[in-house]
Amino acid sequence: MLQAEMPFGSWRESELTFARIVKGQLTLPQHFSIEAVDLITKLLEVDESARLGSQGTDSVKAHPWFDGIDWKGLAERAVPVPHDIISRIKAHMDSRPVDIVTSTHSPVGDIEKLNTPEWFEDW
């Protein structure tokens, strides 16, 4: 997802990726930040007792990749939706046929609703 792609690709690619993870042989793209590589590597640690998160969620939250995250604000739904996410959803909605966009199944009728904590409650 850091590459804007599905994480494991096709079924066959998924099987190969899972096998590499189990063997501790997953290769990550060089353009990933040091923090991202460290986080992914520690989350995929083969030894369960050494895996990031095995001692609780606070160890994951404290990882440097999450520096600056307002965990309390997220829990309280007080953090606004990032502009990048709003623009991606808007672009996706704008590219859909009108009858689908205005469907009652669409959780967002107005893009401004994305900045309210309740925007995802109906999902």
User: Given this model, what pLDDT does residue 22 score?
Assistant: 76
Q: Are 120 and 107 in contact (CB under 8 A)?
A: yes
Q: Which of 91, 92, 79, 73 is nearest to 119 (CA)?
A: 79
Question: pLDDT tens-digit profile of 24-54?
Answer: 777 888 888 999 999 999 998 888 999 999 9
- The number of beta carbons lying within 10 Å of the beta carbon of residue 119 is 19
CA-to-CA distance for 114 and 50, rounded, in angstroms?
38
Chain centroid offset of residue 102 CA? 27
What is the average pLDDT value for the chain, to the nearest integer?
A: 78
- Judged against a pLDDT cut of 90, whether residue 76 lies above it is answered with yes
